[in-house]
Amino acid sequence: MSSLVRHRWTLATALLVPLLVLAAPAPLRLAGVPPCWAVLWLLPWALVDGPLTGAVAGLGLGVLLDGLHPGFITQAPALTLLGWWWGRLGRRSPPIERSFNLGLLALLGAALQGGAIWLQQLWWGETHGAGLHTLLAQTLLTGLLAPLVCSLQLLLWRQLVPGLRT
């Protein structure tokens, strides 16, 4: 069993992501577009817990978020790939501690996830001209919020995992 899953409430924090997606707090929007909450939750989780758990968490979170929206558009593949990639970064590279690094990783993750959704919208013919606007606004806002949100989660979750290299 992974380190963070042993603490049941840490896994329950994943349920906050769909709640934030549905609530979409107005002060945390840019041009009407909310940040990518899934990326802001998945990044610190995968960095602390590793590639396998990161990929499983990304897949689970993607399936959970796909249930909120009808249609063929899915977030699961992009979130699974991001969870695996960030988990490998957390295991193989020096620990990521700087807020700038977290912001950059979240910016790249939001761009990859938003790009995957936009390509699917183009493929299925569901785009209404707002795809690029949504992609850019969500990527920028996620990159700006990540240093604060991800740093706090990373500090908390690293304290919960015994024997983690810091």
Structure confidence at residue 147 (pLDDT)? 93
Q: Is residue 165 pLDDT above 60, yes or no?
A: no
pLDDT digits (tens, 9 = 90+) for 133-146: 888 999 999 999 99
Rounded to 5 degrees, φ, ψ at 154 are -60, -45
Q: Is residue 125 pLDDT above 70, yes or no?
A: yes
Average pLDDT over the chain, rounded to an integer:
87
Residue 36 to residue 103: CA distance in whole angstroms? 12
Structure confidence at residue 162 (pLDDT)? 66
Q: Is residue 66 pLDDT above 70, yes or no?
A: yes
What is the percentage of the chain residues whose pLDDT exceeds 70? 90
Q: Where are the domains of the chain?
A: 8-160
Q: Is the model's pTM score more than 0.85? A: yes
Residue 123 to residue 146: CA distance in whole angstroms? 30
Residue 139 to residue 5: CA distance in whole angstroms? 28
Q: Is residue 5 pLDDT above 80, yes or no?
A: no
Residue 134 to residue 140: CA distance in whole angstroms? 10
Per-residue confidence band for 67, with pLDDT thresholds at 50, 70 and 90: very high
Residue 67 to residue 61: CA distance in whole angstroms? 10
Q: Is residue 2 pLDDT above 90, yes or no?
A: no
Fold of the CATH domain 8-160: Arp2/3 complex 21 kDa subunit ARPC3 (1.10.1760)
String of DSSP letters for the chain = --TTTTSHHHHHGGGHHHHHHHH--GGG-BTTB---HHHHHHHHHHHHH-HHHHHHHHHHHHHHHHTTS-SS---HHHHHHHHHHHHHHHHHSSPP--HHHHHHHHHHHHHHHHHHHHHHHHHHT---S-HHHHHHHHHHHHHHHHHHHHHHHHHHHHHHSTT---
pLDDT digits (tens, 9 = 90+) for 13-61: 888 899 998 998 888 898 889 999 999 999 999 998 889 999 999 999 9
